[in-house]
Amino acid sequence: MSITLHSASVPVFTHFLGNLRHILTKAQADVAARGYDEQALVQYRLAPDMLPFKTQICIACDAAKLWAGRIGGLDAPKYENTESTLAELVARIDNTLAWLKTVPASAIDGQEAKEVTFPVGKTGSRTMAGEAYLTQWALPNMYFHITTAYAILRHNGVVIGKGDFLTGASA
């Protein structure tokens, strides 16, 4: 079987968002076990000019759903970005994963050359072909924000490791 745009995208997004969900459940358990306010994690930034943990989760989800929606010509769900608890962030991941399951391969495959213009930052935009958008923007963007979320949790003492990042619950 050869690789397709769908097989290189939706299963990868699904796998790593599932792993992100896994590390968030470990964070929830850590909050319960150590008895601290979960806002210490939800609002945490590694540096003053970085986005907080909760935004890292939102952007990781958005990278996946927006890519699939734009490439497939589908209406990706819109979220208000009002999540303020770990449980709400887990629910956002769950909602994104549920929507990704509805994305048919037929909407994605064959769209490698489709030009897509999307917003970048607060005022910019970028145009990329579907395959480049996946490999040079959407996947790296998702990995970056999941890695940053992972680093925030590790920095705050949540016991997670590389296996949690790579294989999630099967770690």
DSSP-derived letter for residue 116 is: E
Residue 171 clears pLDDT 70, i.e. is over it: no
Residues 6+ apart with CB under 8 A from 106: none
Q: Give helix 10-34 / helix 53-72 axis angle, nearest 10°.
A: 160
Residue bearing tokens 């806002």? 39
Question: What are the structural domain ranges in the chain?
Answer: 10-170
d(CA 115, CA 149): 30
d(CA 24, CA 163): 14
Q: What type of residue is 92? A: R
Q: What is the pLDDT of residues 14-47, one digit of tens each?
A: 999 999 999 999 999 999 999 999 999 999 999 9
Q: Which of 77, 92, 80, 75 is nearest to 145 (CA)?
A: 92
Indicate if the alpha-carbon torsion angle 129, 141, 22, 58 is positive or negative.
Answer: negative
- Label residue 169 by pLDDT band (50, 70, 90): confident
Say what the pTM is: 0.95
Average pLDDT, the chain: 96
CATH number of the structural domain 10-170: 1.20.120.450
d(CA 137, CA 167): 22
pLDDT at 2: 87
| Mean pLDDT score, 62-80 | 97
C-beta of residue 131 within 8 angstroms of C-beta of residue 148: no
C-beta of residue 20 within 8 angstroms of C-beta of residue 146: yes
| Mean pLDDT score, 82-98 | 98
C-beta of residue 142 within 8 angstroms of C-beta of residue 58: no
